[in-house]
Amino acid sequence: MTGAGSRANLAAALMAAALAGPLAGCATNPATGERMVSFISPEEEARIGAKEHQKLMPAFGGAIPDADLRRYVSSVGTLLARTSELPNLRFTFTVLDTDMINAFALPGGYVYITRGLLALANSEAEIAGVLAHEIGHVTARHAAQRHSRSVFAGIGAAAVGILTGSGEIARLTGSGLGSYLSSYSRAQEFEADKLGIRYLKRAGFDPRAMAGFLGSLRAHTRLTARLAGRSPGTVDQANFMSTHPRTLERVRRAAREAGGPQRPDPIVGRDVYLRKISGMIYGDTPEQGFVRGREFLHPDMRIRFRVPRGYHLINQPSQVLAKGPGGAVIIFGAAARAGGRSPYDYLVNVWARNLRMTELDRSSINGMPAAGGAARVRSRRGVHNLRLVAIRRGGRMYRFMFIGPAGSRQRLYDAYRETAYSFRGVSASEARRWRPYRIRIVRVRRGDTVARLARRMAVGKLAEEHFRVLNGLGPRDRLIPGRRVKIVTSGRRRGS
């Protein structure tokens, strides 16, 4: 969670920019060879992409600070782009500083890949497969096609494509960027697969890596479900597996249909890739705060709190969620500077001014002034109980919202008491001890087992499963002595 305010509505901005463009008419696509009707010219696509790029960057945490890693990913993307049918298009490749596992593209050659996706991948060829797929969306002009259809349908939404995602995709929806998660059609996804594999082969990469990464993604999805207390077979509504059903068989089919020669020793680049990501932050950054089990720690704000047992914490860009049993939800966030307002004044006259509050009270939580109250709201899903609490620490107001279905009043109150009263400030020295997790590369020694290396993982629950997913290992795969693998450690950046 960052201290930033509300995010701009990028969907509306993208729509307005797209609708302002000139009619481009009918043209032959150089990548697909098909005639397509587009109401956006390539020049207009570039203008839209440049404009939205400036808005999108801060909403996703900006680019990672590691300049060497940025250049490395950009060099792989540039090599692939030069093998495409648009070698003169100025592509921009960005590694976003978020642990979400995702990749997508904007019109005009703006391609994004996340730090979380880099952590899950295990070779240069896998990252090349991700980038090549997104380049395929750009060269096939899928955004332009979608925009043209939206004009005819009266929707007016220009959309972008996504390669991958996980249950964490819900973070985007909550930050006002849900339009970037709209799925392409199955035909367009397959077309991007086919084009991506074409570019992989031309650049000399192993095209099988695209299917290999999808296997890791599926395993990560199942692990995430288990950590959240759900059945591994369940998939989030916004998950890649439901909105982008690009199965392994479809990738294999694309590889067959793409045709063309393939070098006898295609580039995999496992060791070089692992060296590049060694020391990279894994999970949350200090600016976002850290989820550690049932605790949330924010070293920059110097605060911490704990949620009750049975709740699963999710750190979003602008707030922290905790999903609990029976549909209960806790939402935590930092409001703008409090000015001279008391927590009671802020609660009644600013935050909850449109609610009919009951049980209003003024209190003190760990030496900090606080105010709380309850309310009942009706939505399409029925009646819900709310309990709000605002806490002032220094010049900033922090707030918790507890939400539960009808009949959950006592359980909600218990969760409120336990969570809100665990909220406290910390000293600068304590906050300095909270460090991000990082990827560390180690070499497998003779006699090492998954269980032994997993004990070195600073991830809490399901460490062995986490180790296997992180390293692309199946349930029965064994370690190979001498091979490099990833573990997650807590501490300062370290090399391989």
Listed in sequence order, the residues at least 6 apart from 440 whose beta carbon sits closer than 8 Å to its beta carbon are: 278, 279, 486, 487, 488, 489, 494, 496
Q: How many helices (H) and strands (E) does the chain have?
A: 17, 20
The answer to whether residue 3 is domain-embedded is no
Q: Is residue 261 part of a domain?
A: yes
315 vs 322: CA distance, rounded Å: 9
The answer to whether 241 and 234 have CB atoms below 8 angstroms apart is no
Domain span at residue 449 reads: 437-490
Q: Give pLDDT, residue 89.
A: 92
Q: Is 365 left (phi over 0), alpha (psi -120 to 50) or beta?
A: beta
Domain boundary among the residues 389, 405, 432 is at 432
- Residue 4 within a domain: no
pLDDT at 226: 83
Last residue of a domain, one of 222, 249, 277: 277
Residues 396 and 410 placed together within one structural domain of the fold: yes
487: nearest Cα among 98, 65, 119: 119
CB atoms within 10 A of CB 315: 22
Q: Which residues of the chain have pLDDT under 70?
A: 2-28, 30-39, 143-183, 231-251, 254-255, 257-261, 336, 491-496
Q: How many CB atoms lie within 10 A of CB 369?
A: 15
Annotate 437-449 with DSSP letters as a single string: EEEEEEEPPTT--
Checking DSSP bridges between strand 303-306 and strand 312-315, what pairing results, if any? unpaired
Q: Would you say residue 284 lies in a domain?
A: no
- How many domains, in total, are found in the chain? 3
Place of tokens 């969670």: 1
Half-sphere exposure of 432 (CA within 13 A, CB side): 3
Q: Are residues 142 and 246 in the same domain?
A: yes
Spatial separation of the C-alpha atoms in residues 170 and 179, rounded to whole Å = 12
In a domain, 231, yes or no: yes
Provide the pLDDT for residue 241: 45
Q: Are residues 195 and 268 both part of a single domain?
A: yes
Residues 305, 264 share a domain: no
In a domain, residue 495? The reply is no
pLDDT, one tens digit per residue, over 247-280 is 666 667 766 765 666 778 999 999 999 999 999 9
CATH number of the domain enclosing 330: 3.40.1000.10
Residues 38 and 70 in one domain: yes
Domain presence at residue 227: yes
Over its C-alpha atoms, the chain yields an Rg (Å, rounded) of 24
* 1 occurs within a structural domain: no
Do 301 and 226 lie in a common domain? no
Q: What is the pLDDT of residue 47?
A: 87
Do 218 and 112 fall into the same domain?
Answer: yes
* Same-domain status, 418 and 444: no
Q: Are residues 132 and 244 in the same domain?
A: yes
Same domain, 42 and 102: yes
CA-closest candidate to residue 219, choices 383, 464, 41: 464
Tell me how far apart the alpha carbons of residues 291 and 483 are, in angstroms, rounded to a whole number: 31
230 plus 362 within the same structural domain = no
Among residues 432, 458, 478, which one ends one of the domains? Answer: 432
Longest Cα separation, the chain: 73
Same domain, residue pair 356 and 259: no
Angle at 221 between CA 172 and CA 250, to 5 degrees: 95
